[in-house]
Chain A
Amino acid sequence: MAEHRPVAEHRQPPIESGAPASSTGSTPPTPATGRRPVFLPNELDPTVFDEAFLRQLERLLLLMKAPVRGGLKGGRRSTKRGQSVEFADYRDYALGDDLRQLDWNILARLERLFIKLYIEEEDVTVHLLLDASASMAAGRPAKLLFAKRAAAALGYIALASEDRVVVSALAGRTSRRMPGLRGSGRVFRLLANLSAIEATPGPTDLLTATRHALAGLTGRGIVILCSDLFDPAADRVIRDLAATGAEIIVLHVLAPDELEPDLSGDLRLVDAETGNGVDVTIDLPVLDGYRQRLAAWRDGLAAVAARRRVSYVPLASDLPIAELVFAELRRRRILG
């Protein structure tokens, strides 16, 4: 069983060297008001990450449903017993055990040798898969912007939890993988990386691109896919993600005008990726049909995700990030 830890107090100092001095200690790396231009790196897109947004990024930690086995020592409970301050269990002493772990008090009372076992804390890799297809640029507000902000929020939470964060942009038939980041001091790097992601024109094969990203997946961890899933093979994408055995979170982002289209009359709807057009006369029955299809589509995806223990989160791109992380993801027990 996972153990819920209070998050607010769980601020860890940056481990990696070279981190900005301002990000040490319990002080978040958020620059002070009025000095943001000094602290914001040039490569950071101010339209994506503004100060108010950065201020929200410090509180939460990604919850994992089960302990994972990671690599480096981190802030996340591991299945391994190891070095930490949190007591886990006792076991009989065996030859070769570290005498430092011997429980001297037990020995004194019972004259038996017991080794204290501590919960090992390790890091995990949080893979942020961002759909950078052309369709993500559509909608108002743009889904890609929402996806980047959500990824930044989640990525920051992961960095603050001493997890490793890997960002991959899915476009075309491939994924562009950014270098992994670790430590909350790298948050600006993360933001810069996210800023650099732009929607790629032309068609995107989400399944192939996802597979390409998953091929580079190392170890078990958390995989967060942020996409509008406008792909005929969206369910297979979810299946393939689930097949990795990692903790999968699918953030299904749709723009409000895709949820409730404000269209009417005789239109030729042109696909933003393929350029294919569809002639349709939009009136109320057609809109009702669209809504039904949309609901059925999302229900289908949710069902596929539920069968494979994938967290499927349908979202609207006008949802404030604060509400996403503080309410929506908490409610779904993705964040704690």
Chain B
Amino acid sequence: MTSSNAVVDVHGLEKTYGKANERQYQALKGLNFQVAAGEFVGIMGASGSGKTTLLNMLSTLDVPTKGDVIVNGHDVTKMRGNQLADFRAQEVGFIFQDFNLLESLTAEENIGLPLALKGTSSKIMDQAIHEVADTLSIADLLQKYPSELSGGQKQRVAAARAIVHHPSILMGDEPTGALDSTSARELLDLLTTINQEQHMSVLLVTHDPFSASFCQRILFIKDGLIGSEIRRGDQDRSAFYQQILNELGTFNE
């Protein structure tokens, strides 16, 4: 069931915590889904539904107990050591709820990090940083340290770092979780722009219906399985928002 243009292909994904002789907890119970190239997909679910576990598997921060995760043609479950690190550095862009910016580096140095890891020449690096900074309108913040930035600014810097090296997919783990509503909205608009203009696939994990309403398709996880799925289609965002609320209403019962 692998479709040729899928950026992410998850098949029969299971994750069990605890050793065989201990009390075990199955967080994921055989998940199947795909994200097509250029798609903006949301994953929703209540606390403890397995969202974060899923994202950890996708981003190779954790290894599944069973099943396959194929990202941009790479089977990440078969990777080890340096391969995993390189995969994270090159194929995936991350935005975390707590920003994950290095406070000892300036915004510019933070953004340049993925390129530095690749060994990009400083000339190309400068060019790429300024390009992405212009897109995200943070050009005037580049010389500042994270401690001098507001939450919204930090998250934009984090977003710049996530896309500066043109990864095949951008993953967000509650990226608006620590932001006020204006900053959250700006960030989501930004993600939409990145998705549409750069044709970058975006996978957003969230429990916030407003954030989710920016997606094209939403997968609902419940007790370690995909419970249901809705598409935005031609609806405008507020109609889709209503649909999500309705779905959540029935889904959680």
A, B co-complexed = no
Residues on A facing B (Cβ under 8 Å):
none
Q: Which residues of B contact A (CB under 8 A)?
A: none
